[in-house]
A and B are shown apart, each in its own frame.
Chain A
Amino acid sequence: MTVAVLGHWISSCTDINASPADPIDGHSAYVFNKALYEEVRNMPQHEQMDSVLLDNLNLEVRAIFAHKCYQCHSRAKSKGDLALETREQVMRGGGDGEILIPGDSRNSRLVQRLELPRGHEDAMPPKGDALLKEEIQMIKWWIDHGAHWSERAFKQFREAPLALSLPPIPDHDYLHHPVDIFVDQHFSQHRMTRPTPINDSRFIRRAYLDLHGLLPDFRVIEQFVNDPRPDKRSLLVDDLLRNREAFTAHWISFWNDLLRNDYRGIGYIEGGRKQISDWLHDAILNNKPYDEFVAEIVNPIEESEGFIKGIQWRGVVNASQRSELQAAQNISQTFLGLNLKCASCHNSFVNNVMLDQAYAFANVFSSEPLEIFRCDKATGRYSNTAFIYPELGEVVGDSLKDRLASLAGIMVQPANGRLYRTIVNRFWDRLFGRGLIAPVDEMDKMPWNQDLLDWLAAKFIAKDFDLDWLLRTLMTSETYQWPAVEYPSDAYLLSSEFVFRGPVARRLTAEQFVDVFSASVVPIYSGIDYDPDHREMKAQWIWHKEIELDRVAIPKPGTRYLRKVFRADLGTPLKEATLLITVDDKYVLYLNEQKISEGHDWRDVQKISVPVSILKEANCIAIEAENSGVLPNEAGVLLALEVMYDNGNTLSIYSDQSWKTNDRKSEGWLLSEFDDSSWEDAQRYGSFGYSHWGKLPEFTFDPSPADPFIRSAYVKKDLFTTTLNRPMRDNVTTKREEETTLLQALMLTNSAFFMERISKGAEKWYARFGDDLEGLTEAMFQQLLGRNPSDEERLVVRNSIGQSPTPEDIADLIWTVVLLPEFQFI
């Protein structure tokens, strides 16, 4: 495939993730240097410029060339034989000769062509935006002052410094927290008044959601509110950080997004992708120091190699998407806030990274140097092997393993301030709704408070790269505890107009919404797709084999019959027998002709104590199972039977392919002696651990109670969570969409899936409160909003529902409360 680089260049529009608000021209990366313009304009006429000013003027003109002219006039594409990158090119001019006369802008063809009216056939540029008249003026001044060419290196885009030092904390007469002191400086500069922190009950809600992704219990809120200790807020943060399971179940989603790790997705289909879930879970659980964390991703052990391995999705891919370049791109984006995606194809248009640099970085991840492809075309050239910032150290090593180790060392050294500023900024963004730098992937942008960013990053290093320290430091600041601020639009948050006034409210993520709903109303999910506990069970999901022509097809709706004959040793006394079963969708189970159980919801695993007196020498488990619905759809039986003998021996029977199935029953099919040789072998539709249904933690003989609900972070995405903006993790995701969409509203308003869960929850509340509306309203507000309803709210509820609520009324109240803005925002 050939890519016309040219097409990339027409950039008169607004960024999606970058500032739309450049006051001059809307370009994101290039900002017209207004200060310089004013400086030159205000100079007395005919005064000589000093060499610094001459240099600055020249560099500005070259920036204008780069952003407005290079698309046609550069080494890549020299239309009219004209390129504007080097002094020689500019002075030589194009095919028609010189374009400028130093000292005489009026007679310079460059200026003449730029000033032609739009639409004139010789007007420049012919396509895209015209130059601003201020830009043309700069070019004129530069020519009139002799068209000086600076020896200073021309950087097309701003680059943030790599080095990092700890800024001193300014003195403050009453504030103590460094974050607050830096922020207060910013507030003074903007002549703003510090807001009052939110109250205790709202603070505890925010802290719980940010650290555990859950709501605090109302009793816990009350205790907290009544706790007289002055440092109770920081003690709470410490407490929450100590509960590592709850913390990990929330924060793993942040890291899964950032490390594009998921349990299902493209690439897995034939081993072209590898999860790092175990490694990641362990790293978060144990608060792995961030330098080690990064080092183990960059220079991986087997459990963490999935990230740099990339995603290979069968077939031929564009050269810029080979796995080594994916590694270079993803490492740069995730850990350095640097966009390498452009430079993987050609010299970047959004930063200073060159194609050769991107390949040099990719070479680190390659056993052989990679041939450079420019826009998917082989160039025959090869790059060296180097980190993207070679000044931080040389990547050495003869083997891939050695080079990765060398790279890891270079990346995590404290001199690489960029690595630490990037993670600090991501955490700030997560907790305050808008980063110190935004967008979070453009770390070359100016932060709104450089000292604050640097203090946090440098201190983070001094604190041994402790991510908990970072969270604790941010969350114990008063700044974190301020109410959410007003702002006019999402565009404003990314614009250069943005002024920090306090935290920006965040919407509950898909996972938070699912989890708080599961905890307070009724569990949303029943099956786990990533199980940190690695529970095992030999049972398999089985069903009747359904054939269409000569392929096994998705099971059709209808009733199927499954049988298993097994022998028990009746010479040894039997102690007990326990059976676990669940069936999608309905079933009746018989053991030796006796009906043992039935069920109609696969999410409810049934655990049944089977009277041992039923057992004989030869036994038959027989299941009449129904696949409901109209279309063919998933169907399965999952069963385990454990028979214990007095002597401690056990006999275990599991659903597996040794079972026999049929699509009709015959006389005597419940009997062990029935001849089922004409029946089919059961078809396997997954294992206990890996299936359409996920792993069901309740499917266990272990008597200890299971977790009350499954954390959403451990469940694969489905239409529900996808609609609520859980991202496709085929690419690195560093910021989720937060705006509510029509599709979300539809999903929440009337999807059968969500409605069914609400109704189920309503039944539970109804069982608790009956028709006690007051008690119900109070409990629901306490549980979901963490506060008591006001009198007005009680009245509204009473007027809507009447005195004695039905389960439907309760369902409607649940629906209403979980969609209130107060519930939806943190």
Chain B
Amino acid sequence: MKPPVQDRRQFLGAMRNATVAALGASVPTLTYLTSCGRPSLASSADRVILLWMAGGMCHTETFDPKRYTPFEKGMATEDIWSTFQSIPTSIDGLQISQGLENIASVMDRGTLIRSYRAGDLGFILHTRHQYHWHTCYEPPQSVQVPHIGGWIAKELGPDNPVIPPFIDIGQRFTVGEGEELKAFHSAGFLGSEYGPFVIPDPARGLESVKPPEGMSIERFEARMKLYQDLIDKSPVKDFSSTYQQESLQRSMERAYRLLKSPDAQAFDITQEPDQSYQQYNTGRFGLGCLLARRLAERGARFISVTTEYVPFFGWDTHENGHTRLVDMKKQIDRPVAQLILDLEERGLLDRTLVILASEFSRDSLVEGRPGQKVKDQVEVPDTIEDMKNYGMHRHFTDGCSLALWGGGIKKGYVHGETSPVRPFAAVTEPVLIEQIHQTIYHALGMDPETHYKIEGRPVYTTPDGMGEVLHDVLA
């Protein structure tokens, strides 16, 4: 009982047409995942660079300084407001914290939000707040929700077909709380196609996209040819559908194109002129900024550069807050400012939205927010005898700073303010995470009600599509 011999492609073609007719013109045939967002909204940005200050960057030590009190043995902890002097910026009357002189000089190119309020997630865990910041959803969720980079990758796709649309620079997932970091470094239900392309060490960015050591370009091409020839000559074809085989081959060919493309050189920061390289080279974060700039020039869509999150390191100062911050500021000050200047010089800043943000802030006394204090994690003495206790060691969620540049962001503007006296909470124009997300999407021309149905339920870019665009920060 043999089936009639059919030409597989003919059969497929017939079937495809039948289906298209049955589904109607509005239903996509290439992918079963479609957005409701209307595609052609006006945009002021083509790409986003997120500069992520992982671990809780203290606002009064960086972008929102208060009264400076130098270290003195026996000083009261409650007298610690800022452990750095304030410095002027390129915006008249705006002061930020010492150690950020380079960033101070580019503040006139962007907007400073001083009234961000992080979510109320109870007993603090950095990775839960980071999850909330990056996905806009409070963890846990009953489905895997996408990272903001995943949404953008999905909706806008790559700007340059050979550069992955969502690139994540600087974070390893083998360090502390790696599992928790993985929980939100994903495109979730949008599918792994839109997940992050991870480059833990920007100095080795090229390794991600160049044939590995020992693999010359000739050998690489010969290998690809062998692959294609063996597919062509394969005596068996009906082990899968043509659709599946083509999907596999398409991905292989895209990877091949990327690896062969001259644009792959963008990943190689060693090609940067020495002076420029050194300007950025304050360590891994600084070089990450350089890599981000190079990728932005070649059409990356969403790039995240992080000061790597390792519990109790980086911005996560449970002790030695002042001392550690001296170093953190050195890491970020020069490269962030240089990134803005370079983008501007190249005419890219207008269409590149740069955001510097952190999951929450810190304070020397208050854990959580005033009136909603949560379980303390750090013993803080009433008086300071040791330099180690001089700094901001508790997690504060009620007032945080966030800086934005380019991509349609207003220039030389400060949005919101925190109280001049403790607690240093946002007192005007409080900004929530869904507003940040909606503002970014707005700048990119993404519909505020973009959503997908997952397990029958619509899931929006922000919970239920909430969040007013912050028109005040837009030019």
B454 on the A face (CB < 8 A): yes
| Interface contact A21-B144, CB-CB below 8 Å | no
Contact B457 A350 (CB under 8 A): yes
Any chain A CB within 8 A of the CB of B427? no
Report if B234 contacts A (CB, 8 A): yes
Of the candidates A326, A442, A750, the one whose C-beta lies within 8 Å of that of B259 is A750
Let me know if A15 and B177 touch, CB within 8 A: no
| Most chain A CB neighbours (cut-off 10 Å) among B122, B164, B238 | B238
B71 within 8 A of A: no
- Closest chain A residue to B22 by CB distance? A497
Provide the B143-168 mask, 1 if CB < 8 A to any CB of A, else 0: 11000000000000000000010000
Residue B60 CB within 8 A of the other chain: no
Contact with A along B207-229 (1 / 0, CB 8 A): 11111111100010011011101
- Roughly how many angstroms separate A515 CA and B459 CA in the complex, as a whole number? 36
Contact at B142–A549, with CB atoms within 8 Å? no
Of chain B, the residue at the smallest CB distance from A734 is: B455
Which residues 465-505 of A sit at the B interface, judged by CB distance below 8 A?
483-492, 494-495, 497, 504-505
Q: Does A4 contact B (CB under 8 A)?
A: yes
Count, chain A residues at interface, CB 8 A: 127
Interface residue stretch chosen among A88-96, A314-322, A681-689: A314-322
Query: When each residue 549-592 of chain A gets 1 if its CB lies under 8 Å from chain B and 0 otherwise, what string results?
Result: 11101100000000000000000000000000000000000000
User: How many Å from the CB of B164 to the closest CB on chain A?
Assistant: 6
Closest chain-A Cβ to B371's Cβ sits at a distance in Å of 15
Interface residues of B in 90-104 (CB under 8 A from A): none
In chain B between 131 and 187, which residues have their CB closer than 8 angstroms to a CB of chain A? 138-144, 164, 173-175, 177, 179-180, 182-183, 186
Judge whether A488 and B235 touch: CB under 8 Å.
no
Q: How many whole Å from A697's CB to the nearest CB in chain B?
A: 21
Q: Is the C-beta of A815 less than 8 angstroms from some C-beta in chain B?
A: yes
Contact B193 A13 (CB under 8 A): no
A704 within 8 A of B: no
Is A40 among interface residues, defined by CB-CB distance under 8 A? no
When distances are taken between beta carbons in the complex, the residues of chain B under 8 Å from A5 are 464
Bound-state Cα–Cα, A792 to B232, Å = 10
Contact B230 A17 (CB under 8 A): no
- Quick one: which of A321-349 are within 8 Å of B by CB? 321, 326, 329, 339, 341-342, 344, 349
| Contact residue among A13, A313, A341 (Cβ-Cβ distance under 8 Å from B452) | A13
- Select B258's contact among A8, A351, A746, A817, beta carbons within 8 Å: A746
List of B residues within 8 angstroms of A507 by Cβ = 244, 248
Is the CB of A740 closer than 8 A to any CB of chain B? yes
In contact, B173 and A749 (Cβ under 8 angstroms)? no
CB within 8 Å for A812 and B36 given contacts A341-B455, A341-B457, A749-B259: no
Residue among A489, A739, A820 having the largest count of chain B Cβ atoms under 10 Å: A489
In the complex, whether B8 has a CB less than 8 A from a CB of chain A is yes
Query: Which residue of A has the minimal Cβ distance to B125?
Result: A314
B121 & A812 in contact (Cβ 8 Å cutoff): no
With the chains together, A18 CA to B456 CA distance in Å? 7
Most buried by B among A202, A505, A749, A793: A749
Q: A491: which B residues are within 8 A, CB to CB?
A: 23, 27-29, 31-32
- The residue of chain A having its C-beta at the shortest distance from the C-beta of B452 within the complex is A16
Q: Which of A23-31, A672-680, A705-713 contacts B (4 or more CB under 8 A)?
A: A23-31
Of residues 25 to 56 in B, which have CB atoms within 8 Å of A's CB atoms? Answer: 26-36
The stretch of B319-327, B340-348, B349-357 that contacts the partner chain: B319-327
Q: Nearest Cβ distance between residue A260 and chain B, in whole angstroms?
A: 11
Q: Which of A744-803 contact B (CB under 8 A)?
A: 744-746, 748-752, 755-756, 759, 790, 792-793, 796-797, 799-801
A750 touches B211 (CB 8 A): yes
A799, B124: Cα distance in complex, Å: 62
Shortest Cβ distance from A442 into B: residue: B456
Docked-complex contact B227 and A816, CB < 8 angstroms: yes
Contact present for A728 and B27 (CB under 8 Å): no
Q: Report yes or no: B183 in contact with A548, Cβ–Cβ below 8 A.
A: no
The answer on a CB contact under 8 Å between B231 and A820 is: yes
In the complex the two chains form, is A483's CB within 8 Å of B36's CB? no
The closest CB in chain A to the CB of B232 belongs to: A796
Contacts of A604 in B (CB 8 A): none
Q: Hey, what's the 0/1 contact readout for A690-708 against B, CB within 8 Å counting as 1?
A: 0010000000000000000
Our pick among A266, A316, A439, A725 for the contact of B192 (Cβ within 8 Å) is: A725
Q: Would A792 and B233 count as touching, CB distance under 8 A?
A: yes
- A487 and B243 form a contact (CB under 8 A): yes
The answer, yes or no, to whether B330 is at the interface (CB within 8 Å) is no
A20 at the interface (CB under 8 A from B): yes
Q: Which of A62-70, A188-196, A294-302, A421-429 contacts B (4 or more CB under 8 A)?
A: A188-196
Give the complex CA separation of A554 and B230 in angstroms: 46
Residue from B207, B244, B324 in contact with A821 in the complex, judged by beta carbons closer than 8 Å: B244
Are B215 and A350 in contact, with the CB atoms below 8 A? Answer: no
Q: Verify A740–B222 contact, CB threshold 8 A.
A: no
- Please measure, in the bound complex, the distance between the C-alpha atom of A404 and the C-alpha atom of B18, giving whole angstroms: 50
Considering the chains assembled together, what is the distance between the CA atoms of A266 and B186 in angstroms?
14
Q: Of all chain B residues, which has the CB nearest A157?
A: B456
* Nearest opposing residue in chain B for A551, CB measure: B312
Give A277 Cβ to nearest chain B Cβ, in Å.
16
**Which residues of A lie under 8 Å from residue B227 when comparing CB positions?**
815-816, 819-820
Which B residue's beta carbon lies closest to that of A350?
B456
Q: Give chain B residues whose Cβ lies under 8 Å from the Cβ of A741.
A: 191-193, 195, 251
Residues of B within 8 A of A12 (CB): 36
- Contact partner of A489 among B29, B197, B236, CB < 8 A? B29
Considering the complex of A and B, which 5 residue pairs feature the smallest CB-CB distances, nearest first?
A7-B464, A491-B32, A316-B122, A350-B456, A505-B240
Q: A1-B463, A730-B183 are in contact. List 5 more A-B contacts (CB 8 A).
A: A5-B464, A18-B453, A23-B23, A731-B144, A743-B195
19 A-B residue pairs with Cβ-Cβ distance under 8 Å, sorted by A, are A10-B451, A13-B451, A14-B453, A18-B455, A313-B128, A487-B241, A489-B29, A490-B32, A494-B32, A505-B241, A737-B191, A741-B251, A750-B255, A752-B213, A790-B235, A793-B235, A796-B226, A799-B229, A816-B226
